Structure 1
Amino acid sequence: MHAKTDSEGTSIDASWLPRSPRRPIYYVQSPSNHDVEKMSYGSSPAGSPAHHYYHCSPIHHSRESSSSRFSASLKNPRNLSPWKHVQLHQDDDDDETDGRYGGSTDKVRLYLCIGLFFIVMFTVFCLILWGASKAYKPKIIVKNIVFENFNVQAGNDGSGVPTDMLSLNSTVKILYRNPATFFAVHVTSTPLELHYFRLKLAAGQMKKFTESRKSQRKVVTVVKGHQVPLYGGVSVLASARDQQHLARVEVPLNLTFLVRSRAYILGRLVKSKFYSHIRCSVTLKGNKLGKPLNLTNSCNYD
């Protein structure tokens, strides 16, 4: 060893000179088992540099430290290679991605369940209203009918066939009541018809109207016939040509019609319909013209 003398006469051993700064430590892939066994026993390949070469190498560790670290890596199986670490990180990212997509799917399912729940509840509510409305069927009462006049005279039908012709004028008074507490009704009807058996003698149309909740009204409808050919079908009216026998005329008639009531409970979402088939028996009397005939107990309501 060569010694160097400074200005103060002291000598410093060259081996104790300051070393160069340490370089960053690099990790390399673990060697095979065969190389590890050789290094663990301290053997080195032929022509390897001296011990001071390892101090200057970039790896910067001694043979003993390398051997001990490699031996520890063999004893500790939990030390994973770099690409295994990368694979684990990728799996974690995939798990996080799956969790994020799964969360959005759960939200969609939750919204669908909530929407379906509200639809079912609304349907049940509508069914309850519809069922409750059936208990409020409108009340219809045919009060009376007034025959204003009737006349029988000889004439010809549309084809020129001579026959007796009947003209009749009457009015029907109806009481309509809506007992419902939470909906109004829209009322229409078929024509009111007066029949002698199957022969229609007069007809009239009731005007449509809307009845509010818990209210009632009287409806008056004109039922009339003009120049109706009889063709001998009403023999009892044959004597009605003579005004002297008019007071003794009695003709049994039937008054028939259908009343339709529609209730719109939730706009047009919930509808409730009521039908009333009405048939009344009435007798046309020549001596009762202009007087109301009571029909309160003479009608059937279906």
Structure 2
Amino acid sequence: MGGGRTHRKSESEVTSMEQSPPRSPPRRPLYYVQSPSNHDVEKMSYGSSPAASPNHHYYLSSPIHHSRESSTSRFSASLKNPSSAPWNKLLHPQPHAASNLHHHNEDEDDDDDVVQDSGHNIRLYFCFFLLFVLLFTLFSLILWGASKSYNPNIIVKNIVFEKLNVQSGNDGSGVPTDMMSLNSTVRILYRNRGTFFGVHVTSTPFQLSYYQLNLASGQMQKFYQSRKSERKLEVMVLGYQVPLYGGVSVLGNANKENMDTVTLPLNLTFVIRSRAYILGRLVNSKFYRRITCSVTLHGKQLGKPLNLSDSCVYK
């Protein structure tokens, strides 16, 4: 019986040994591979063995080893969990951050569009203004050129000598000399031929002279002449007590006593200025007409009009 128990016990031990799981092989110590520092390189250059450095107790317990071990463990953890990696946040931003970035980009795009639209509007307004200036200038030049062909007509019709008197006297400084008084009237026809503008008319003083000696003068009143119209003008040309100083040789003692026998050649000169305001003060045309008329005063024709239609030169 004792043999039987021993046999059962051995069988039970064999069975328990067969049923127990095999033991895992013993774990090998972990080794960390890292690039040697400058100090380690110096040691290697003197013949130290790099293979023994991982087993060194002080090397495993050095702060550098622990820092590198923690960095390595964090790197391994980031490889196991890629979503926690810092660069993963940059590559895959959060939806809220992405939406904020999208809104920010949209705001910048809207601002850019507003700036572009305002710049485009400024350029468009400038182009319109430049086009308007060019068209207005062209239109003004056309009107100015067209107005030049409508210069006014001026005709000196006649002159009437009403009075002629010569007597002895003294000038302002007391010098004795012959003094002459002359009254006359000049009649002029002024016609504005402009079809789309009126004119403002002025003149220089009318001068009656015997060669270089002025005997009488008169001033025409300025006036406005509407388009395609005409008017008749009368200008008084007067001279009172004009000292002759012997300059008028035709007035001898005999002639002074009998004015009917006096024949005195005279020149009538004046300038008529006409200005047409086509577009207000912006566009205007100026017309100048210098007129010189030769007339002979006859003592026996006082009070009678002398025709000057063919005796005047218009420049």
Does 1:153 find its partner at 2:167? Answer: yes
2:233 to 213, 219, 224: 219
Q: Which residue of 2 aligns with 1:171?
A: 185
Per residue, is there more helix in 1 or in 2?
Answer: 2
Q: Which residue of 2 aligns with 1:162?
A: 176
Q: Deviations over 1:95-136 (max 9, x none)?
A: 232112211221222222222322322222222212211111
Q: Deviations over 1:33-92 (max 9, x none)?
A: 7446546xxxxxxxxxxxxxxxxxxxxxxxxxxx9x99xxx9xxx963339835455334
1:240 to 251, 255, 272: 255
- What SS class does the counterpart of residue 236 from structure 1 fall into? coil
Give the superposed CA RMSD.
Answer: 2.6
Instruction: State the aligned residue count.
Output: 237
Q: Which residue of 2 aligns with 1:81?
A: 93
Q: Which residue of 1 aligns with 2:131?
A: 117
CA distance in 1, matches of 2:128, 2:201: 39
CA distance in 2, matches of 1:112, 1:181: 35
Question: What are the within-5 Å matches in structure 2 for residues 94-113 of structure 1?
Answer: 94-113=108-127
2:283 to 266, 270, 286: 270
Q: Which residue of 2 aligns with 1:91?
A: 105
Q: Quick check: which has more Rg, 1 or 2? A: 2
Q: Which residue of 2 aligns with 1:184?
A: 198
Name stretches of at least 5 consecutive residues in structure 1 with no aligned partner: 1-31, 40-66
CA distance in 2, matches of 1:236, 1:126: 56
CA distance in 2, matches of 1:242, 1:96: 104
CA distance in 2, matches of 1:130, 1:283: 41
Name stretches of at least 5 consecutive residues in structure 2 with no aligned partner: 1-73
- What SS class does the counterpart of residue 265 from structure 1 fall into? strand
**2:162 aligned partner, one-letter code:** E
Q: Which residue of 1 aligns with 2:224?
A: 210
Query: Could you tell me the TM-score, scaled by structure 2's length?
Result: 0.69
1:235, CA displacement in angstroms?
Answer: 0.9
- What SS class does the counterpart of residue 221 from structure 2 fall into? coil
